[in-house]
């Protein structure tokens, strides 16, 4: 059995910590929509409108759909660089999309000035940015020992 092409940070994060982050998102969307909506709009109305609840449910569906890929597929394909990069690249698109959504919302509220952004919004943006940096580094191959495994080989 060959050694993993991935450093421990990637294996631990993508197979274990990332699904836990997704699960926390599912729980927050489900049990505390006010928390989630407040990260996008400080003056969000409650209870949320039906279409807002539907959009939260769509976000949940994505998180729930990706979790088995993170937990199971990455363990079934522990050395498949192409599969790992494809999954992380897809999640990276979502991370960047959420950052853009938050910034767009802040802009629409006239709150792009650093002093007008609340602490929890900074925290949300910081976590998303850190995840995006980690995923970008991975997708670009930083620290990954490909050895031809990126071409569909799993050995």
Structure tokens at 96: 């960047």
Cis peptide preceding 15, ω within 30 of 0: no
pLDDT tens digits along 4-52: 999 999 999 999 999 999 999 999 999 999 988 988 888 888 999 999 9
Instruction: Give the position of tokens 């930083």.
Output: 142
* Cα–Cα distance measured from residue 31 to residue 18, given in angstroms and rounded to the nearest whole number: 20
Q: Are the beta carbons of 59 and 29 closer than 8 angstroms?
A: yes
Question: 10 Å Cβ neighbour count for 14?
Answer: 22
pLDDT tens digits along 81-111: 999 999 999 999 999 999 999 999 999 999 9
């Amino acid at each position: 059995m060959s050694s993993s092409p991935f450093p421990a940070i990637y294996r631990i994060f993508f197979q274990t910590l990332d699904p836990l982050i997704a699960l926390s998102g599912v729980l927050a969307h489900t049990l505390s929509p006010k928390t989630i909506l407040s990260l996008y709009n400080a003056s969000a109305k409650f209870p949320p409108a039906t279409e807002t609840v539907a959009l939260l449910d769509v976000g949940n569906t994505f998180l729930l759909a990706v979790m088995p890929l993170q937990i199971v597929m990455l363990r079934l394909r522990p050395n498949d660089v192409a599969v790992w990069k494809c999954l992380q690249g897809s999640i990276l698109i979502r991370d960047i999309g959420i950052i853009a959504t938050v910034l767009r919302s802040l802009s629409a509220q006239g709150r792009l000035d650093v002093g007008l952004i609340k602490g929890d919004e900074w925290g949300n943006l910081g976590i998303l940015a850190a995840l995006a940096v980690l995923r970008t580094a991975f997708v670009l191959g930083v620290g990954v020992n490909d050895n031809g495994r990126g071409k569909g080989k799993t050995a």
